Amino acid sequence: MKMTIGKLFKLTKNAGRQSIKMQNRLVLYWGVMILVVFAAILAIMSFAGVFSDSEERVAQVLSLQQKNTFSQISEDFNRLTAQGISLSEKASEIIEEAVIGGNISELNDSPEKLKEIESRLYDEMNIVLRTSPCSGAYIVFNATTNTSAPGAGNSRAGLYLRFANLSSDNEANRDIALYRGIADVARAHDIELHNRWKLEFDIEKISGFEKAASFSGSRIADGCFWTGRENITDTWESCIMLAVPIVSGSGEFYGVCGVEVSDLYFRLINPAMQSDFGGMVTVLAPIKGDELMVSEGMIGGINGTLIRGTENFVIKEGSLFNTYIGRDTRFCGIQQETDIILEDGTVLYAVTLVPEDHYIKEDAANRIIWGIATAILFVAMLFISFLLAKNFVKPIAQSLEAIQEDDFAGAGSSGISEIDNLLSFIRKKGSGKSETNLPSDIEELFSDFAKRAEALTPTERSIIKYYADGKEVNEIPELCFISINTVRKHNSNIYKKLGVGSKEELMLYIELFRRSGRSDELF
């Protein structure tokens, strides 16, 4: 190969001075060589991932989904907060109507009054529950049924309604269960008691109660906040809760109300959207340091992924998207800060995640395809280059060999016109000496005779050749498979065409041509 390229370089130098045909061949050869180099570069680039668009596609898919997720979450939580505020105002009105002196403590030890208020509030809460994107609604009064009951200090009356049969899309047919509140209220409205029903709330287990009780602002909206993810006592579910203080017109703390978004509900209303890279999971969780605290937030549907709701992820920032590294799972994702602020001031982030392995595999598959394609191109071009080079050099090498051996006749045609012209020139130059040594009139005689010989038929030439080889007339019929009469007729034609009068004269010419090395001009 190295030798071939060396020869070609030498030939290329002379190409400008030679015929166009050779240039064309060189152009073709160099074209192929350029393609080889191009294929090699392609291969390197494809293995480096330059041609894989998976990264851009993941970013595009994530970005689109994130836009929807963020807008949906923001809208839902805003709506819930508004519903919470409205419920608080309604509860405040109903309590104020029920207590004569405007003092909530009047409800202490008054089970009948509490029952009346709960019954009235049931309808309000039922509306909130059925018209809002939540799984439960609650109201806690700052009063208890029995101040002398054990644990009365932390016990508060109220109403807590939860959906009993949540599923993604049966909003119209959801059954409600009474989780906290007076059992008779449930019976009056034909709803079941929750499997873990209790009459009252334990305020130690309502993280928002204390903070709501300390609210002293004039605008209820300023006192709203969300609690972090907490287990719903005695159940398998956990939730985040909106806490809205209930205050009287004069600012007295009446209690707290709000809504609950359970992890199951969040999962159902945020199903995993399927993409080419697997299920896209919605997460609403705080970020602490460089960690996405999924365990403290909510996670949507997980269809098509192996994500666990109890897992936290270390965030590795990227240019188009981030990588979220869990215990044994990795995700690509985009995050965005929401307006949802927890009790302790922590902000929740809306995050869209998609399993990294699908993207990695697709990226790898793209690289493999590009790699294989460029490798095939590379090999094919190399192969064509090899064939072209071999065919290009072969006639040149053969011609050189013929020149070295002075066998111009044996060299024949090279297939390259420039080489043939060169050989012809060398040949002429090599045989030019014998021609010039002859006197001009003799040379003319030879030329005239040779010219006349061109009129001979192939059979007549064969017969002359036999004469030149020393054959007699009577041997010719057998050699040429013709009769003696036909031979005589050919002889007569030969003499006529060559302008000779006898066989002796013909033999003299043949001998002269042979000695001059010009026999090929006769036969």
Partner 1 sequence: MKKKSVFILAMIFVFCFAAGCSIGENEKHPVTVSVWHVYGAQTDSPLNDLIDEFNDTVGKEKGIQVEVTMVSNNKNIHKDILAASNKDPGAPELPDIFVAYPSTVMAMPDEEILVDYYDYFSEEEIEKFIPSFVEDGEVDGRLVCLPVAKSTELLFINKTAFDRFSKETGAKIEDLSTWEGLYETAADYAEWTDGQTPEVPDDGKNLFVHDFHFNYFQVGVESLGESFFNNNAIAFGPVFNKVWEPYAKACLSGGVWLQGGYATEPLRTGEAIVSVASSASVLYFSNEVIYPDNTSEIIEIIVRPCPVFEDGKNLVMQRGAGMCTVKSTPEKEQAAVTFLKWLTEPETNTEFVIETGYMPVTYEAFEEYLPGAIGELNDQKYVELYKAYLETQEKFEFYSAPKFDEYLEIENGFEDKIRQLLLNERNEIVSAEEEVVIEDAAEESLRLLKEYM
Task: Determine, following the binding rule CB under 8 A, whether residue 314 of this chain makes contact with partner 1.
Answer: no
Task: Determine, following the binding rule CB under 8 A, whether residue 375 of this chain makes contact with partner 1.
Answer: yes
* Angle, CA 35 vertex, CA 34 and CA 39 arms, to 5°: 120
Task: Determine, following the binding rule CB under 8 A, whether residue 282 of this chain makes contact with partner 1.
Answer: no
Task: Determine, following the binding rule CB under 8 A, whether residue 150 of this chain makes contact with partner 1.
Answer: yes
List the one residue out of 223, 346, 270, 206 whose CA is nearest residue 76. 270
Rounded to an integer, what distance in angstroms lies between the CA atom of residue 444 and that of residue 336? 104
Using an 8 Å Cβ cutoff, are 114 and 107 in contact? yes
List the one residue out of 129, 122, 118, 128 whose CA is nearest residue 95. 118
Comparison of 246 and 272: residue with beta carbon closer to partner 1: 272
Tokens describing residue 41? 């570069």
How far, rounded to the nearest angstrom, does the alpha carbon of residue 387 sit from its chain's CA centroid? 37
Helix, strand, coil percentages in the chain from 3-state DSSP, rounded to 5: 55, 20, 25
List the one residue out of 246, 269, 243 whose CA is nearest residue 258. 243
Phi, psi (degrees; rounded to nearest 5) at 144? -130, 155
Task: Determine, following the binding rule CB under 8 A, whether residue 181 of this chain makes contact with partner 1.
Answer: no
Residue 178 C-beta: closest distance to partner 1, Å? 10
Rounded to an integer, what distance in angstroms lies between the CA atom of residue 119 and that of residue 104? 17
Comparison of 308 and 427: residue with beta carbon closer to partner 1: 308
List the one residue out of 127, 141, 128 whose CA is nearest residue 95. 141
Among positions 82, 320, 379, 400, the unique one binding partner 1 when judged by CB under 8 A: 379
Residues in 338-357 at the binding interface with partner 1, rule: CB under 8 A: 355
Residues in 389-448 at the binding interface with partner 1, rule: CB under 8 A: none
Among positions 60, 63, 68, 168, the unique one binding partner 1 when judged by CB under 8 A: 168
Comparison of 205 and 428: residue with beta carbon closer to partner 1: 205
Task: Determine, following the binding rule CB under 8 A, whether residue 327 of this chain makes contact with partner 1.
Answer: no
Task: Determine, following the binding rule CB under 8 A, whether residue 279 of this chain makes contact with partner 1.
Answer: yes
In one letter, which amino acid is 52?
S
- The residue range among 69-77, 144-152, 419-427, 442-450 that interacts with partner 1, by the rule CB under 8 A, is 144-152
Site string for partner 1, 52-81 (x = CB under 8 A): ------------------------------
How far, rounded to the nearest angstrom, does the alpha carbon of residue 30 sit from its chain's CA centroid? 34
Task: Determine, following the binding rule CB under 8 A, whether residue 198 of this chain makes contact with partner 1.
Answer: yes
Using an 8 Å Cβ cutoff, are 448 and 521 in contact? no
**DSSP state, 239?**
E
Residue 300 C-beta: closest distance to partner 1, Å? 11
Using an 8 Å Cβ cutoff, are 243 and 138 in contact? no
Among positions 59, 98, 127, 193, the unique one binding partner 1 when judged by CB under 8 A: 193
Strands 176-180 and 192-198: parallel
> How many other C-beta atoms lie within 10 A of the C-beta of residue 234?
11
- The residue range among 125-133, 193-201, 204-212, 467-475 that interacts with partner 1, by the rule CB under 8 A, is 193-201
Rounded to an integer, what distance in angstroms lies between the CA atom of residue 239 and that of residue 368? 45
Comparison of 271 and 395: residue with beta carbon closer to partner 1: 271
Comparison of 258 and 279: residue with beta carbon closer to partner 1: 279
Site string for partner 1, 290-309 (x = CB under 8 A): -----------xxxxxx-x-
Binding-site size for partner 1 (CB under 8 A) equals 66
Comparison of 90 and 358: residue with beta carbon closer to partner 1: 358
Rounded to an integer, what distance in angstroms lies between the CA atom of residue 61 and that of residue 33? 41
Give, in order, the Cα–Cα distances in Å from 299 to each of 52, 66, 215, 309, 326. Answer: 31, 14, 30, 6, 14
Tokens describing residue 344? 């302790």
Among positions 21, 196, 205, 515, the unique one binding partner 1 when judged by CB under 8 A: 196
Comparison of 66 and 275: residue with beta carbon closer to partner 1: 275
- The residue range among 67-75, 127-135, 174-182, 469-477 that interacts with partner 1, by the rule CB under 8 A, is 174-182
Provide the strand spans (E) within 123-164: 136-141, 155-156, 158-163
Residue 335 C-beta: closest distance to partner 1, Å? 23
Among positions 76, 200, 418, 460, the unique one binding partner 1 when judged by CB under 8 A: 200
Task: Determine, following the binding rule CB under 8 A, whether residue 145 of this chain makes contact with partner 1.
Answer: yes
Binding site for partner 1 (CB under 8 A): 111, 144-146, 149-150, 152, 155, 162, 164-173, 175, 177, 182-184, 187, 190, 192-200, 234-237, 264, 267-268, 272, 278-279, 301-306, 308, 355, 358, 361-362, 364-365, 368-369, 372, 375-376, 379-380, 383
